[in-house]
Amino acid sequence: MHDQEFPVFLYSEAYITIVHIQNISPHQIMENQSHEEAFTKKKPQVGHLRIFGCFVYICVPKDKRRKLEPS
């Protein structure tokens, strides 16, 4: 976030978003239920989620590039 000049005052919002997504995501240990679903007995709604972040491009130096190999 720092490299993208993301404002420091929004760091806490980013962390809150991460925790929220973890709480509504299913977990294998809990038989594919989320924490929220186990607590409330209702499937969590995900329609309010939006893309957060930006595209990232990586520059690989020419001497390290190889054909047909992943970056």
Question: Could you read off the pLDDT of 12-71 as tens digits, one per residue?
Answer: 888 898 898 888 888 888 888 888 888 888 888 888 887 767 777 888 888 887 777 665
Among the listed residues 71, 40, 17, 38, the one whose alpha carbon sits nearest the alpha carbon of residue 6: 17
Whole-model pTM: value is 0.55
Residue 71 placed within a domain: no
Q: What does the block give as tokens for 47?
A: 């329609």
Q: How many domains does the chain have?
A: 1
Residue 55 amino acid letter: F
pLDDT at 70: 65
List Cβ neighbours of 43 (8 Å cut-off, separation of 6 or more): 37
Question: How many residues belong to the chain?
Answer: 71
- The residues near 23 (Cβ < 8 Å, ≥ 6 apart) are 34, 35, 36, 44
Asked whether residue 17 is assigned to any structural domain, the reply reads yes
Please name the amino acid found at residue 57: Y
- Whether 48 maps to a domain, the answer reads yes
Q: Containing domain of residue 47, as a range?
A: 8-64
